[in-house]
Amino acid sequence: MIEITFLGSGGGRFITITQFRSTGGFFIRASRNMYVDPGPGALVRSWRYKLDPRKLDVMFISHRHVDHCSDAEIMIEAMTGGALKKRGILIASKSVVYGDDSYNPAVSKYHLDSLEEVHTPEPGNRLSLGDEELTITPSVHSDPSTIGFRMGTRFGDISYIPDTQYFDELIKWHEGSRVMIVAITRPRDMRIPYHLCTEDVVYMLRKMKQRPEVIVMNHIGMKMHFANPYKEARFIENITGVKTFVAKEGFKVMMNKKEITVKTLRPARFV
């Protein structure tokens, strides 16, 4: 069984600064434990859902925007036992590790040195992580080094399409995945540059010969939040026939050979 737990589903500056929807990325438990896009709240919400960040093996960071990487260093401290032992793998965009014209690196040299491996792969590169294999996929986003992935598992593939505008190549990279986690920032007819809207996703799915079993809408922006993402999910589902869920804090997807099931976890009580 492979489990994906969302610590939040908000994305974009206005949802993030207001926390109208929780933010923080998601956690994949496969043969290795991988955290994806540790945005604001990643550390605190991991504990809230009893996901021990000290047990992480891998961290994947798609790009250097703060809603995806603000908690990167503290999560690396957890993964490396307080930065005291060399442990863990970071797979991230070049902007996260090296910075770019607008941004400093998101991870200090001190934290990079505590990791066992640091990778800044290109689309098409493959990395094996225990029983799984990660294929790096491209994005067209305002951070030009943004990367996504397709994770091959023994139960089928999981695709992560992070912030990107629509481009035809997405079909080739992600066609045939069983679960697609997609950053759908905007509702129908409210497209903005460098992000996907609901119609883009419908268009992409209709062009796929082999559609996914499940889409999880993630990175809900403010306009999407107020347009009602559940209505947008029904729109995708009605046209494409693909079961579409909206991620939220505590939302969990479980995949085995036979079926994909979901539930929403209750937060643990704090004392």
* Residue number with CB closer to Zn ion (157 or 163): 163
Q: Enumerate residues 6+ apart whose C-beta is below 8 A from 57.
A: 32, 33, 34, 79, 88, 89, 129, 130
Amino acid at 46: S
* Residue number with CB closer to Zn ion (65 or 186): 65
* Residue number with CB closer to Zn ion (62 or 198): 62
Q: Supply the minimum distance, in Å, between the C-beta of residue 96 and Zn ion.
A: 12
* Residue number with CB closer to Zn ion (77 or 163): 163
**Which residues of the chain form contacts with Zn ion (CB under 5 A)?**
65, 163
For residue 156, give the nearest of 175, 139, 169 by alpha carbon: 175
Q: Supply the minimum distance, in Å, between the C-beta of residue 183 and Zn ion.
A: 8
The backbone torsions φ and ψ at residue 183, rounded to the nearest 5 degrees and listed phi first, read: -75, 100
For residue 165, give the nearest of 135, 136, 199 by alpha carbon: 199
For 137, other C-beta atoms within 10 Å of its C-beta total: 24
* Residue number with CB closer to Zn ion (48 or 64): 64
Chain centroid, CA 226 distance in Å: 22
Q: Supply the minimum distance, in Å, between the C-beta of residue 229 and Zn ion.
A: 18
Q: Supply the minimum distance, in Å, between the C-beta of residue 36 and Zn ion.
A: 14
Q: Supply the minimum distance, in Å, between the C-beta of residue 40 and Zn ion.
A: 13
